[in-house]
Amino acid sequence: MGQGRNRFTEKIEVTGDQLVTTIKELYADANAKRVVIRDQSGRELLSVPLTFGVAGGALLALTAPVVAAVAAIGGAVSRVTLDIEREGTPPGDADA
């Protein structure tokens, strides 16, 4: 386990109504470090850092404006692509 941490990007597509739920799940994922929300043409709509280094109620207070912005984007578009920057080993790239 003494290996260094690698960063990789995962791309997923979600519908506008799934966007807020997906972002909230990514906040709970310790390996997710940043997410970029893109429209159907690939234009960046919002870049969200997911590492705050705070706990409990402070995290909720810091994320509330971000979640509100994400909800507005989700209401305005039908589908978005999320570029999720993660730390660790990419799936399917395990060294057994």
* pLDDT by 10s per residue, the chain, length 96: 445 568 899 999 999 888 888 988 888 888 889 999 999 899 998 888 887 554 544 555 556 677 778 878 877 778 899 999 998 878 776 554
Domain annotation covers residue 4: no
DSSP class of residue 49?
Answer: E
Domain annotation covers residue 92: no
The pTM of this model reads 0.72
Helix, strand, coil abundance in the chain, percent, nearest 5: 35, 30, 35
**pLDDT value at residue 96:** 44
Domain annotation covers residue 96: no
What are the residue ranges of helices labelled H in the chain?
Answer: 19-28, 57-76
Please give the tally of structural domains in the chain: 1
Domain annotation covers residue 1: no
Domain annotation covers residue 94: no
- Residue-number span of the structural domain to which 58 is assigned: 10-87
Domain annotation covers residue 52: yes
Q: How many CA atoms lie within 13 A of 77 on its CB side?
A: 26
Domain annotation covers residue 58: yes
